[in-house]
Structure 1
Amino acid sequence: MKDKIVVLDTNVLLHDPEAPHRFGDLRVVIPMQVVEEIDRFKKDHSEKGRNARRISRLLDSYRDRGCLADGVPIEGTNHGLLQVIFCQAHALDALPAELQGGGGDNNILAVALEQLRRGGLKQAPEVVLISKDINLRIKADAVGLQAEDYVNDNVSIDDLYAGFRELSTDAVTISSLHDEGQLPLDAVTDPEGQHPQANEGVVLVDERNDSRTLLARRQGNSNSLKPLDWLNRAHLGRIKARNREQSFALDLLLDPSVALVTLVGKAGTGKTLLAIAAGLHQVADTHHYARLLVTRPPISLGKDIGYLPGTLEEKLGPWMKPIIDNIDFITGSSPGEDSEQKKKQRHREPRNAWADLQGMGLLEVEAINTIRGRSIPQQFLVVDEAQNLTPLEVKTIVTRVGEGTKVVFTGDPYQIDNPYVDAESNGLTWLVEKLKDQPLVGHMTLTKGERSELAELAANIL
């Protein structure tokens, strides 16, 4: 059997500091160039800096067990070996002329190729370069080296859990659920005989008349389906569900037994608006939560505008404008108001609602990088643009949730501005797949844009 070796790139370790433990009994090689690059990140105050320090501590703990140059057995494996290797001059010379002397990625490439060649043609080991850098994987392929993305925490975006399903049934069953307020799970199953998952929505469709439908949900691990009770009893003013996905989403957001909700969808589907509206209702009207806490990662679309002056709240102002817009819309005038009311509405201070809610202690804006170390009880926490977070950052936020707090993550996996994650490796989609079917967790994928006809056109075609 061939010896199999994996060579890790810097970005893999910065993405997941526990990556050396993810390859079982294989030999894991870390080029010295990677150690040098990690050292440059160790003083960074971002998540990359924390991960750099974690991987440095991990390597140091293995150094105490033996010589890293010779290889140290990986904890929890039978034959796994962790090794740190220098890039030799002759290995660099063996690279194609265009790649010689480039340093950085080329040194990592040279180490990987040297591992491939060291056993000779007949006994050459199987070597795989693991990198999240597309260009390095292309270079590796060009020189005849196998290269793969790091997919330990990747989620196929095409197979992402939708949060609801359609089931065909007869008219009697639909009427029974409508009249009695519940229906045993055994009365409706999918073609494979599977029941809906915990907190999953169900669209019951009359098999003889597909225009007759009823929306229901399995609440937690209960043994029955129930109509959308929480949606039907809430009064959210001008905010109404415009499609079935929004109806399911609002029912999850309004149900206090669901402690974590994830909303995924393209731009304009109403993710943030629904979350903020449900949060304000439960803070200001029903008083189920003490405060609405809003945060989002400060990652720019396009070139960064640089450091901002002022207090923390003033610095966060530009990043919170989408939240302010949503609150302004929720508290603004309704389309049916008379012209005099609309005239007064136009002349009011446009940010009064935002300032008033903060002044009453009902709304708080939080910088996402200050979440670590906090305990957040009795609050409705909305994490917007969560597709720009790493799985570790999402885990950090969820583990801050205190007693009585509900946390909502919203985001669009197709609009990612963080260069270190993509549609399949970001923390939002990772969270959806990891926690589906948990009785405390609900998810909904929103597909229909409701912002405007133009916004829907752009989201679908552009």
Structure 2
Amino acid sequence: MKKIFVLDTNVLLHDPQAIFAFDDNEVIIPAVVLEEIDSKKRLADELGRNARTISRLLDKMRERGHLHEGIELPSGGLLKVELNHRSFMRVQEMFGEMSNDNRILAVALNYHLEQENETEKQSIVLVSKDVLVRIKADVLGLQAQDYLSDRVVVSSDFYSGYMTLYVHPAVIDEFYTYRFLTVNNMNLNIRLNPNEFVILRDEMGTSKSALLKVSQDGAKLEPLFLSNDPIWGITARNAQQRMALELLLNDDIPLVTLTGKAGTGKTLLALAAGLLKVEDEHKYKKLLIARPVVPMGKDIGYLPGEKEEKLRPWMQPIYDNLEYLFDTKKAGDIDKILMGMGSIQVEALTYIRGRSIPGQFIIIDEAQNLTKHEVKTIVSRVGEGSKIVLMGDPEQIDHPYLDSISNGLTHIVERFKNEGISGHMTLEKGERSKLAQLAADLL
């Protein structure tokens, strides 16, 4: 049975291609949605870009007929702009003020009431990324759902970058004898991804174990090439941190993604690896560190001063880690060090878009606040001889239209997990302090 999907504004601002994601069903865009999109189209950020994109798409669709009468979609469905679908008195009686959200609800409700009198009823589904709109729809007896078409994975299937396998002790002995294992000879019922880490444990219950990494072609299991020696004073404190350093220091892996809760060491490990590669080994010309300017909580508004002064509050977490690595004693010492070195650049993400960045070690912090398009834009800027590290906590999203599954960091992890040029690690154990670990777990 075909359905009628009524789209909220945030769906189109999140994914302008959403109008094509509902197969052969009918897609309704309330007129108030067009007004909201029009109010966003002059913004210079991702919302503005998406508003302009959906505006152009609808204008192109208009060439094929009148939007208010309905235009056939390539999938066989129908796209329609609803101008004023009857009365919204019932919604107003229940929720009072006729806000834009309530007008969208009214369109969905009136379609729902119309279908009750039809012989062949169609299900009415309101699609919104706003939780409260979906709750209001439920109160009105409407079916509502989140927009899920752009999700690359369900939350229970997040790729962690490593797995534990229980094998016969003879397999572990074979690895220590020959220093590698052939994947095809292990008769595994699961697929191993390139650069994925494997912890082998004895299925008999003894303490015998081994830590290995899948080769870039996915054919072999190899030993880690790094020892656990300190790197700029930093030593891996757990197995996941050691695996992360293995990826960060491997020059043959130009794309590394790190995820984990606050305090698991993502930023510190990436900075230590970057400093080693740039300052000690001179593998890269510059260490570029950037993060998106997305506030947590209430924005602090305009800040006085030059660009560096304006950005300092947003970049302070980076400076905190650099002060730890350089073991500075006084306030302001880190600025003098960075000015003297010249090979370390701390930048807002806004200023690296559009650039070509060759021969650099690039760290993108808080990447969970990036959209799929923004991640694509950034990674496609990476020039020859560069390495890029994207990291963040998918459970801490500050972007209004993203969640733990639809953000750019999760997207790139899933899209690149089968590629030999990339590696991923999920850091699980907090090492900042016992208090920080408890806060991450309990709060």
> Is the shorter-chain TM-score for this pair beyond 0.5, marking a shared fold?
yes
Question: Would the aligned equivalents of 1:164 and 1:201 in 2 still touch at CA under 8 Å?
Answer: yes
Distance of 1:406 and 1:110 partners within structure 2: 51
C-alpha deviation, 1:169, in angstroms: 2.7
Once the 2 structures are TM-superposed, how far is the Cα of residue 166 of structure 1 from its aligned partner?
0.9
Q: Quote how far apart the aligned CAs of 1:101 are.
A: 5.4
Shift of 1:183: 1.8
Offset at residue 181 of structure 1 (A): 2.9
Q: 1:399 to 1:210 in 2, by over 3 A?
A: farther
2-structure distance, mates of 1:310, 1:70 = 54
The secondary structure found in structure 1 opposite 2:391 is strand
| Deviation sequence 1:20-39 (CA, Å, 0-9, x none) | 11112221111110000010
In the TM superposition, 1:313-332 aligns within 5 A as 313-332=308-327
Q: Is the 8 A contact 1:272 1:384 kept in 2?
A: yes
Of 289, 292, 299, the residue aligned with 1:297 is: 292
Give 1:302 shift: 2.1
Classify the secondary structure of the residue corresponding to 1:279: helix
Secondary structure, aligned partner of 1:168: strand
What's the counterpart of residue 106 of structure 1?
Answer: 102
Report the counterpart of residue 11 of structure 2 in structure 1: 12
Is this contact kept in 2: 1:324–1:351, CA < 8 A?
Answer: no
CA positional deviation for 1:444: 0.8
CA shift digits 1:185-205 (9 cap, x unpaired): 134354xx2242111100111
Amino acid at match of 2:259: V
Matches within 5 A, 1:388-427: 388-427=369-408
Q: 1:156 to 1:3 in 2, by over 3 A?
A: closer
CA distance in 2 between counterparts of 1:369 and 1:28 reads: 35
Show CA shifts across 1:43-65 (max 9, x none).
Answer: 11111111111111111111122
Residues 1:167 and 2:165 aligned together: yes
Matches within 5 A, 1:237-276: 237-276=232-271
1:211 aligned to 191, 207, 210, which one? 207
1:135, distance to aligned residue in structure 2 (A): 1.1
> What CA distance in whole angstroms lies between the structure 2 residues aligned with 1:368 and 1:323?
13
Amino acid at match of 1:105: D
Which AA in structure 1 matches 2:120? Q
Match of 1:431 in 2: 412
Instruction: Return the offset for 1:251.
Output: 0.6
Q: Once the 2 structures are TM-superposed, how far is the Cα of residue 360 of structure 1 from its aligned partner?
A: 2.9
Are the aligned partners of 1:157 and 1:429 in contact in 2 as well (CA < 8 Å)? no
TM-score using structure 2 length = 0.94
What's the CA shift for 1:424? 2.5
Question: For the Cα contact (< 8 Å) 1:262–1:432, is it kept in 2?
Answer: yes
Shift of 1:159: 2.3
* Partner of residue 336, structure 1: none
Identify if the C-alpha distance between structure 1 residues 273 and 127 changes in structure 2 by more than 3 Å, giving closer, same or farther.
same
Q: 1:189 to 1:368 in 2, by over 3 A?
A: farther
Match for residue 152 of structure 1? 149
Which of 224, 228, 231 matches 1:228?
A: 224
Following TM superposition, by how much is the alpha carbon of 1:234 offset from its aligned partner in structure 2, in angstroms?
6.9
- Residue-by-residue CA offset, 1:427-448 (whole Å, 9 max, x unaligned): 2222222222221121111111
Could you tell me how far 1:108 is from its partner in structure 2? Answer: 0.8
1:342 corresponds to which residue? none
In 1, the alpha carbon distance for the partners of 2:292 and 2:6 equals: 32
SS at match of 2:22: coil
The one-letter amino acid paired with 1:246 is Q
Q: Does structure 2 conserve the Cα–Cα contact (< 8 Å) formed by 1:32 and 1:87?
A: yes
- Equivalent pairs, count: 441
User: How many angstroms apart in 2 are the aligned matches of 1:166 and 1:151?
Assistant: 30
What TM-score do the two structures reach when normalised by structure 1?
0.90
Question: For residues 187 and 229 of structure 2, what CA distance do their matches in structure 1 show?
Answer: 29
Tell me if the contact between 2:194 and 2:216 (Cα under 8 Å) persists in the aligned partners: yes
Residue number in structure 1 paired with 2:344 = 363
2:32 is matched with: 33
Question: Secondary structure of the residue that 1:11 maps to in structure 2?
Answer: helix
**Following the alignment from structure 1 to structure 2, what is the Cα–Cα distance between the partners of residues 26 and 239?**
56
Q: State the one-letter code of the partner of 1:405.
A: S
| Cα pair 1:17 1:54 within 8 Å, conserved | yes
Please list every run of 5 or more consecutive structure 1 residues that lacks an aligned counterpart in the other structure.
333-344
**Alpha-carbon distance change, 358 to 14 in structure 1, aligned in 2, over 3 angstroms:** farther
Cα RMSD, aligned residues only? 2.0
Deviation at 1:212, TM superposition (A): 2.5
Matched with 1:50 is 49
Please name the residue that 1:81 is paired with.
Answer: 78
> Counterparts of 2:411 and 2:32 in 1: how far apart (Å)?
30
What pairs up with 1:166-185 in 2 under 5 angstroms? 166-185=164-183
- Is the CA contact 1:17–1:55 (under 8 Å) kept in the aligned structure 2? yes
Indicate the SS of the match to 1:211: coil
Q: Is the 8 A contact 1:167 1:189 kept in 2?
A: no
